[in-house]
Structure 1
Amino acid sequence: MKHIDFYLDFISPYAYLAFEQLPKALEGLSYSVAYKPVFLGAMLKHHGQLGPAEIPAKREWTYRQVLWLGHSHGIPIDMPATHPFNPLAHLRLALATSPDGNISRYVAETIFREVWRGGEEAGDAGRLAALASRLELRREPGGDAVKAQLKANTDEAIARGAFGVPAYAVDGRLIWGFDSLPMLRAALLDDPWFDSPQWLRAAERPSLHRPRP
């Protein structure tokens, strides 16, 4: 049985879509999944990137595309009333349900659907309190242990090559994106392509490094 580490942040519509589509994409395969919340903002900062919603033209396109992807794959999705929003409360709530850095699929599903269905304000204090009451908390969401765990998960993902979410780690490889679910399936099936030069030597070419302004 193969094991997948699934790195996610509830702020990402692509992570939500990938989460919902994963069982169908991997249907018939034997695998286990560890769902690991990470802070996308810290990941982007580490790599010196802007998020899609921080670039006006890309923001507009991203919202249209994710709504289309939900429509085309039969996944219910509504944009939250405000986006981007601060996802730290959701991430900490998720990790407070677990003694370690992994959360159950039920917890991930509950929080993702709270954010991405209904079109409500994700960061509303009343809705966050109601969400917390639906989860079985084992640790204090605002406590140092949960905050440290979120950082540890994020650092782990970065160390494995993640630069965004959703990201899947399997067999020492890092696969990224909703549209890469077929690639993830192929990796679980030990497709020999992953041992070919196309995978192994993809980065072995010079690039033009431009100085930052």
Structure 2
Amino acid sequence: MSEPVVSEADVLSARDVPLGGPRSMTVRRTLPQRARTLIGAWCFADHYGPDDVAETGGMDVAPHPHTGLQTVSWLFSGEIEHRDSLGSHALVRPGELNLMTGGHGISHTEVSTPRTTVLHGVQLWVALPDEHRHAARDFQHHAPSPVHLDGARARVFLGTLAGETSPVRTFTPLLGAELVLDPHATVTFAVDADFEHGLLVDQGRVRMAGTLLDRAELG
């Protein structure tokens, strides 16, 4: 998610937000905020963990509705059980995408499973364009194969990157991928110059477009 031809990237710092109430787990939210409400159609970015579930209690989000958007669930560790009013019952596992379309209205729950010991992942939201804001509710699951590159590994869960295209349907052209870089590696990706892009750092530090990003920062 970064501007394709720039010398510097804007840096968005995260703020801590209790997910589902003050007794629930805390997430680090980088989008939206006053400085930036959208990156393309991406309108929401929560990053959480790694959390020791024995101490935090894990994720236990009660039934709640969504309209006019899609939710993108992606884990690095742990497991979450998803149920929704469409009748979907699925698990969110590391390296596997769950994408739910709220459209004209859907309700869902998210609960970490008893076998989860460490919970770590992101949840992203995509704003639906006006002409599809009331689309039919939907649920899609996809497990992308890793793409091995010189100095990096990618899993492309939405859109196209590094010659890999996700089959998951979206209402706006999007790019979503997990990138794992080798220490001190330098990697260049060809991206669509018409897109806005952003990079959320999960761990370590990354230099992007001349800007150094720390963990939990979005550039």
Instruction: Tell me: higher relative CO, structure 1 or 2? Use CA pairs within 8 A at least 6 residues apart.
Output: 1
Q: TM-score range by the shorter chain?
A: under 0.3
| More helix by percentage | 1
Larger radius of gyration: 1
| More strand by percentage | 2
